[in-house]
Structure 1
Amino acid sequence: MLKKHYFAALFAFMLLILSACGNTQTKEADAKTKKAEPKAAPTEMILATTTSTQDSGLLDFLIPMFEKENNVKVKTIAVGTGQALEMGTKGEADVLLVHAPAAEKAVVDAGDAINYKRVMYNDFVLVGPKENPSGVSGNDIQAAFKKLAETKSIFVSRGDDSGTDKKEKGIWTLLNIKPAGDWYVSTGQGMGQTLQVAAEKKGYVLTDRATWLAQSKNLSDMQIVVEGGKDLMNIYHVMQVNPEKHDKINSKDAKKFVEFMIDPKTQDVIENFGKKEYGQSLFIKYTE
């Protein structure tokens, strides 16, 4: 009788071992199958943004983060804010990152953009040759522009309907001055290139601080001459292009990008970008 129970117990034990081995083999097989399954191809999203986010190097940090987290391939088109907003109204981009609040509001009010969020800010500064022949200084940008016009000091404008260009033109309008003549040079180019032209011509130029800091190592004969005015704040917003008006928009990833830009982790990256290299942040986080 004992012998019979012994063999029964032994048989049950062997079945248990075989079952365990089978489960292990099944798990290993499942793991191999999952490992062998190809990763889904990344989706594609078009970001239209201003040249300052590109020239400053910020996007070189942020875009790879977003792509990795969301399995998205981002095509970045860096143009002036006016052109970026126009791409949005035509449905030629999925998401916009720009810095001209008045022009942005018009696009949002027209229903061409949704999910409009404030992301970050820095400020505009007036840069000029170190010898500063016009003698402009301080924080009054209107007084500086007026003196530049009176002395016909070389002024280099982007002339590309960008956020910076809109800011510059707005200052001239407030002063009721229409700059023209040999002293006023329009490049029709981005901020980095316009700074280079200003350096070559020993002229003055309005720029965002981030691009100036990123490019200043190549502009040793230039310096900031006017900064700190309350009217020089430079605010950046992100927004989705409205899929209800443009049916080919990748609204799913555009929404993810907006959420990514205002996420606290991303905001910390923005706040710390440039601190080590330049001793100050190129952009300050500014979420709503």
Structure 2
Amino acid sequence: MRAVLAGVVLLVLAACGSPAEGPAAGPSAERSLILATTTSTQDSGLLDELLPAFTEATGWGVKPIAVGSGQAIEMGRRGEADVLLVHSPAAEEEFVAEGTAGRRLLVMHNDFVLLGAEADPAGVRGLAVDEAMRRIAASGAVFVSRGDESGTHAREKSLWEQAGVEPAGAGYQETGQGMGATLRVAAEKAGYTLADRATYLSQPDGLAVLVEGDPGLLNVYHVIEVTTRAGDRVQPEAATAFADWITGTDAQQRIGEFGRAEFGQPLFVPDAGKPDPTG
């Protein structure tokens, strides 16, 4: 009988792999983390490039939740995510200062662009961004805002403030949606909008770049570790694994190449290890 049982055990081990061989390929339910990130990383396709490579390298599966940066940070604040990938520096710094976050590391940047119909009814093409915002407001042209407390929305609000303008009236419209959806609405209404360049290039929707290259349009992304100080469900080892990987050589090379073949230029610039322009 023992010989028969031993044979059965050997057959099972042969089929499933012996303990010495390690776990089967692919993440287990116990090795899955929650990444709260921005719609721009999803809409641009960057997550599709990075997350499978991260899982293959570390064994951690990833459940990405793509929302605005403000919502992602709130998830971290409530302990509902293990790690954040966001682009709203002022809100990030406030969150880290509260003491529930771990490391905040520079990952990459691209830039924001002011978009509009080719006809450009407010005449903003090529202007400095402050003057462009003032002209749009003065003309009563349609401006489509995300209105969702995302990093893009936060930057838009700061641009209005720097321009000394309070957007109002029928021309100012909020979608309450992500970047891709907001681009589609702006195109349908032949209106202006602010977008990150990566999402615009991957979903142009008939809009033209009218203002770019202004220092106020720099768009910087950080990874932020969440700790158990935010909640008992947080997995700090998962956060560390993701932060280490996305700032490491493989991920940074992938970021630097992403979009080059399709668009003739990378959609993001890798920045890990460089001086942080946000301080």
Q: Which runs of 5+ in 1 are unaligned?
A: 1-27
Equivalent pairs: percent with the same residue?
Answer: 47
Residue 278 of structure 1: aligned partner: 263
Q: Provide the C-alpha distance between the structure 2 equivalents of 1:140 and 1:125, rounded to a whole number of angstroms.
A: 12
Structure 2 counterpart of 1:119, from 107, 110, 126 = 107
CA-CA distance at 1:181 after TM superposition: 1.1
- Alignment coverage as a number of residue pairs: 258
Structure 2 counterpart of 1:208, from 189, 192, 196 = 196
Q: Provide the C-alpha distance between the structure 1 equivalents of 2:235 and 2:247, rounded to a whole number of angstroms.
A: 19
CA-CA distance at 1:33 after TM superposition: 7.7
Which of these two proteins has the greater Rg computed from alpha carbons? 1
Q: Provide the C-alpha distance between the structure 2 equivalents of 1:44 and 1:268, rounded to a whole number of angstroms.
A: 24
Letter of the 1:284 counterpart: V
Relative to 1, partners in 2 of residues 1:140 and 1:73: Cα closer, same or farther, differing over 3 Å? Answer: same
1:197 and 2:182 aligned: no
Query: Is the contact between residue 139 and residue 228 of structure 1 (CA under 8 Å) also seen in structure 2?
Result: no
TM-score (norm 1): 0.85
CA-CA distance at 1:118 after TM superposition: 0.4
Letter of the 1:278 counterpart: F
TM-score (norm 2): 0.88
Structure 2 counterpart of 1:188, from 157, 176, 179 = 176
Q: Provide the C-alpha distance between the structure 2 equivalents of 1:147 and 1:244, rounded to a whole number of angstroms.
A: 46
Q: Provide the C-alpha distance between the structure 1 equivalents of 2:135 and 2:123, rounded to a whole number of angstroms.
A: 9
Q: Which runs of 5+ in 2 are unaligned?
A: 1-9, 274-279
For 1:106-255, what aligned pairs fall within 5 Å after superposition? 106-216=94-204, 219-220=205-206, 222-255=207-240
CA-CA distance at 1:68 after TM superposition: 1.7
Query: Alpha-carbon deviations, 1:155-203, whole Å to 9, x = none?
Result: 0000000000000001111223221111001000000000000000000
Structure 2 counterpart of 1:41, from 19, 22, 28 = 28
Query: Is the contact between residue 139 and residue 229 of structure 1 (CA under 8 Å) also seen in structure 2?
Result: no
Matched residue of 1:247: which SS? coil
Query: Is the contact between residue 79 and residue 162 of structure 1 (CA under 8 Å) also seen in structure 2?
Result: yes
Q: Provide the C-alpha distance between the structure 2 equivalents of 1:162 and 1:246, rounded to a whole number of angstroms.
A: 23
Matched residue of 2:113: which SS? strand
Letter of the 2:136 counterpart: L
CA-CA distance at 1:147 after TM superposition: 0.3
Query: Is the contact between residue 122 and residue 233 of structure 1 (CA under 8 Å) also seen in structure 2?
Result: yes
Moved over 6 A (4+): none
Matched residue of 1:174: which SS? helix
Query: Is the contact between residue 28 and residue 61 of structure 2 (CA under 8 Å) also seen in structure 1?
Result: no
Larger helix fraction of residues: 1
For 1:8-27, what aligned pairs fall within 5 Å after superposition? none
